[in-house]
Amino acid sequence: MFIKRLKLTLEMIRFEHSVFALPFALTGALLAFRESGTFVASGWRTVFWIVVAMVGARSAAMAFNRLVDAEIDGRNPRTKARHLPAGLLSRGFCLGFTIASSALFLFAAWELNTLCLRLAPLALAIVMVYSYTKRFTHFSHVVLGFALGIAPAAAWIAVRGSLDPRILWLTAAVTFWTAGFDIIYSCQDFEFDSESELFSIPRALGIARALMVARALHVLMILSLLTLVYQLRLGALAVAGIGAVLALLIYEHSLVKANDLSRVNAAFFTINGWVSVLFFVFWAADIFLHNQRIQ
């Protein structure tokens, strides 16, 4: 019975979508190793605990979001079949999973370094407060973006034990990227949000203008990445990775029209999964070649 409920919980939190933020966190870690000039044997241990921390934080945030939004999800035709509104899972079990995931995250932070542990409660607060923002601000998408955006900066801290302001360009890039695709996704709920007086960019501006905002945010993402390339003096493969991301984002926006949202799921899930994975592949390759040259 427990295994069945755990499986349902992993479905509820879309565990497989950890691919969105994890590659950016790993990129932040690799950039930190690059700046330190070495990848010692203990580096693999650090990477392991970064992954554990990411999984724990995301799982806690998603489960908490489902708890907070259970009543709203039950009224929304698009989400009423989710696990809590449909009665597939109890609130008690979901709360227990949230607490366990939070504890896993805090333990991983403790295993990393002192600064990570000190900042861990703040990180949890940031990723959880998002669940309430749609009730009072149209900028909830940016809050979600920042919740994911802190991942590469946190990974940098995990490796170096301190924060280099330059890595905040990657935080900005992930924030703009996430906010942009979340705006696209929330266009599906324009009518429901309006009726329920929930806040979102589509409700504030209308779907057509919201899609324009999403495009502008993705332009800012590309500019942030280019700035980071300049700041850290990265190579041609990193620039090529930005080109791949740009091409995918252009394709993503071509799938969604103000009068046709039928392909939003493809734009949201499939394309953005490829964005994060291809970005990591190109930038990891650039970092690897850099290390090869200096050895």
- pLDDT tens per residue across span 10-22: 677 776 666 678 9
Beta partners for 260?
Answer: 257
Task: Identify the CATH number of the domain in which residue 46 sits.
Answer: 1.10.357.140
What does the pLDDT read at residue 84? 86
Please compute Rg for the chain using Cα positions: 19
Q: Is 137 part of a structural domain of the chain?
A: yes
Q: Is 116 part of a structural domain of the chain?
A: yes
Residue 74's SS3 state is helix
What does the pLDDT read at residue 93? 87
What does the pLDDT read at residue 19? 66
Q: Is 5 part of a structural domain of the chain?
A: no
Q: Is 57 part of a structural domain of the chain?
A: yes
Q: CB count, 10 Å around CB of 122?
A: 10
Distance CA 16, CA 14 (A): 5
CA distances from 273 to 43, 108, 218 (A): 26, 25, 15
Give 3-state DSSP helix, strand, coil % of the chain, rounded to 5: 80, 0, 20
What's the number of domains the chain is made of? 1
What does the pLDDT read at residue 79? 86
Q: Is 80 part of a structural domain of the chain?
A: yes
Per the structure, the complete domain to which residue 28 belongs is given by: 16-286
Which two structure tokens, joined as six digits, stand for 9?
Answer: 């919980």
282, 25 contact by CB (below 8 A)? no
Q: Is 9 part of a structural domain of the chain?
A: no
Q: Is 233 part of a structural domain of the chain?
A: yes
Q: Is 8 part of a structural domain of the chain?
A: no
Distance CA 190, CA 78 (A): 11
What does the pLDDT read at residue 268? 74
Q: Enumerate residue ranges in the chain where pLDDT < 50.
A: none
